[in-house]
Structure 1
């Protein structure tokens, strides 16, 4: 009976979310961690590939069953149509970021671990496109700020001065500043501007039924990656999301 006194103190264990849900995971202190690893600034393809490997691992081998993952910078957005752990928030915002932390640490072959925190975002199905538009807009904002910040650093400004200068600039001013320095932000790699999308897709493959001794077509779910996703607010993006059969 004594153990029950402590069991009831687990105050978050019965809080549950209803699907659909997005879990957003953010890297903790990644700026310092990645600086020690000497990744290129503002973007490094090696790091992005490791993020994709971690996202794919979550899709393919975690057993959690997300429908898609959208990632940019050090952020993951993971969509669940069906929730594991009976929707227990305590489990969702601990197991998902811990899996991603381990997967990314392994993908980068690090001897010291990386960490993510996470939050659970309940949505209505009609909110999904708007949510993705919001995060994709943040990817673009982050893209412009990062290019501007590290350009100023390379030109000799200290980090506090570079941050202060950017705070007073509109996006079009940052775009113009980079243009004058020979960088067209509209022509940087699409994954830097728009993020990367990992999703499940139903495909039909040809096979052979040994029992019936005949050719057959088999429907299977495969994990696909889009390094140049559509703008989610466009007609193309709307059609793309509908093809995922979220409803």
Structure 2
């Protein structure tokens, strides 16, 4: 059945009148009505924020005011494994929800989510992608807090900012990820040395002055000679951050038809703590940069 499409419009006195459109639609014998009020012009003030096609999209979220947040919630220094595991859990939940994300990398209070060049997620609208990912992450942070912090109650809501950046090719994307992992190493080496000095009796101001202008080799020497700490033997999760990829995993479920166990292979977002600066990681996971 053909039906007439009507466009509802308003005159200057706000009286409604209809204008038939030339096209017809098959719609269960009903007339399709499209409202077009005099107020709809405000939509033209919205910015077109579609990201460039055929480019990698990276959404990076950062904790806002997390220095105060970590102090309020008594995070262990230099690293609190509970906080790291919670951040990883949030990123995993984001990847479960948004299938277009192929990889995520996180350290400290930040996480980067990688979306492939071929993705048309939300028509590649920057605001839509950023807001969806950061809101999913923040809500999961609150929802899963108790699992990781137990009786330590959440004192106030955490906040994260977010941005979406496009990168033109595989090399630039890898350079971006290398930059974030190098930042993880630099910050963790400083924090490990700084808090070792403070926990040995030095004031925070004195420890900061002591390390000012020092190089990596200087910090490594302080850790080894004064505290018998071999930095290279510290857990990789602290030195290299967390990379989440979709790994093939055997899962068992119960068939609703016959109640029997069914085993199948699924791609499950999983946190690993590998070096992603070198070539080996990318050789082991060639699918990450492969054209989809």
Normalising by structure 1, we get a TM-score of 0.83
1:47 aligned to 54, 74, 83, which one? 83
**In structure 2, what is the equivalent of residue 189 of structure 1?**
235
SS at match of 1:54: helix
Which residue is 1:80 aligned to? 115
Question: Out of 117, 127, 147, which is 2:161 matched to?
Answer: 117
Q: Unpaired segments of 5 or more residues in structure 2?
A: 1-36, 147-153
How many residue pairs get matched?
A: 239
Q: Distance in 1 between matches of 2:204 and 2:41?
A: 51
RMSD: 2.8
Counterpart secondary structure, 1:25:
strand
For the 8 Å contact 1:54–1:104, the answer to whether it is kept is yes
| CA distance in structure 2 between the aligned counterparts of 1:205 and 1:108, rounded to whole angstroms | 26
Deviations 1:21-61 (A, max 9, x none): 1111111111211111112101111111111110111011x
130-139 or 163-172: bigger deviation: 163-172
Q: Is the 8 A contact 1:129 1:241 kept in 2?
A: no
- Say which SS state the counterpart of residue 22 (structure 1) adopts: strand
Give the superposition deviation at 1:192: 0.4
With a CA cutoff of 8 Å and minimum separation of 6, indicate the structure with the bigger relative contact order: 1
Secondary structure of 1:8's partner? helix
2:106 corresponds, among 71, 93, 118, to: 71
Q: Which residue of 1 aligns with 2:283?
A: 239
Go from structure 1 to structure 2 and tell me whether the alpha carbon gap of 1:159 and 1:58 turns closer, same or farther (over 3 Å shift). same
Distance 1:149 1:14, change over 3 A: same
In structure 2, C-alpha distance between the alignment counterparts of 1:83 and 1:155, rounded to whole Å: 53
Q: Map residues 17-28 of structure 1 onto 2, 5 A cutoff.
A: 17-18=52-53, 19-28=55-64
Instruction: Give CA-to-partner distance per residue, 1:168-206, whole Å, 9 cap, x none.
Output: 111111111111222211111110011111111345779
Q: Determine if the alignment matches structure 1 residue 142 to structure 2 residue 174.
A: no
* Structure with the higher fraction of residues in helix conformation: 1
- Residue pair 2:73, 2:155 contacting (<8 A) in 1 also: no
Task: Specify the alignment match of 1:56 in structure 2.
Answer: 92
Q: Which structure dedicates a bigger proportion of its chain to strand?
A: 2
Structure 1 unaligned blocks of 5 or more: none
Find the structure with the greater CA-based Rg: 2
Distance 1:237 1:50 in 2: 24
Partner of 1:102: 139
1: CA distance, partners of 2:230 / 2:216? 13
Instruction: Describe the SS at the equivalent of 1:234.
Output: coil
Report the Cα offset of residue 70 of structure 1.
Answer: 1.0
Q: Please state how far the C-alpha of 1:246 moved relative to its aligned partner.
A: 3.6
Match of 2:171 in 1: 126
Aligned to 2:29: none
The answer to whether the 8 A contact 2:244-2:269 is kept is yes
2:184/2:239 contact within 8 Å kept: yes
Sort the Cα spacing of 1:204 and 1:105 in 2 relative to 1 into closer, same or farther, 3 A: closer
Moved over 6 A (4+): 204-211
- The answer as to 2:39 corresponding to 1:3 is yes
